[in-house]
Structure 1
Amino acid sequence: MEVRNPIVWFEIYIEDLDRAKKFYELVLHTKLERLLTPETTNETGGVEMITFPMDRNCPGASGALVKMEGVNAGGNSTLVYFASNDCSIDEARVDKAEGKIFRPKMSIGNYGYISLFYDTEGNMVGLHSMK
């Protein structure tokens, strides 16, 4: 049996696409891009997505910020951890990006470190690093 990483894609549901894009670009120090889907061009609304960078030749998962009619941001039970070289560096940008720290960088023993924070849409998100 082949062993694979269990996560292949994630979606973070948001209310304000531009505000959420700005938040994640600042905190994660990366560039997000709009994903054009058939729903994006639909005049009745539908689904809008902005994707995180992805390299199919690297391990791990990518995903998107998603605005979809009928799906509210925040308060869900999904928690996504983004890889970080050092949680404290990325965590330091959360307040500047208008998010809120829930739990500052803490040790999880042999598994490294995590930080937990809320984005501008009320979603709790994590960072994970080995140092």
Structure 2
Amino acid sequence: MDYDKALNVTLPGGSSFYTVPKERFRGGFRFLTIYVFENVTISNVTCSIGFDPMTEDLREYSRYFYSPDDDLLTRAWYAGAYTVQSNIAPQDTGRFLPQVKLDWAYNASLGVAAPILPDGAKRDRVVWPGDLGI
């Protein structure tokens, strides 16, 4: 059974704002599909991403990596660092397994004490058991 279907939100008439609550957090995804069932005007839509919750300044890379002779290698390292930052998940935004709850509730524990890097940008927010031993 697919428990991860559309997130249905009903907003009151007029100008409204909506922010997805933490338990509906979906990690490193920056996309949005909007379905409406009547004529409406939609404007000023933004879609944000939840970056590494433990790092205050995500651009603070000084002394982490530098290759004076190979710009491609340096850029590849920064791309990897960005990917890691965009996929680290807060400790309390995991999925219950087995999937015993319907809806979008992602508020199970991912780890024991801190944010965790799931195995890739996985929508299911489940930690691969092999990562727990590392």
> Same fold judged by TM-score > 0.5?
no
TM-score by length of 1: 0.23
TM-score by length of 2: 0.23
Larger Rg: 2
**Greater length-normalized contact order (CA 8 Å, ≥ 6 residues apart):** 2
Q: Which has a greater percent of strand? A: 1
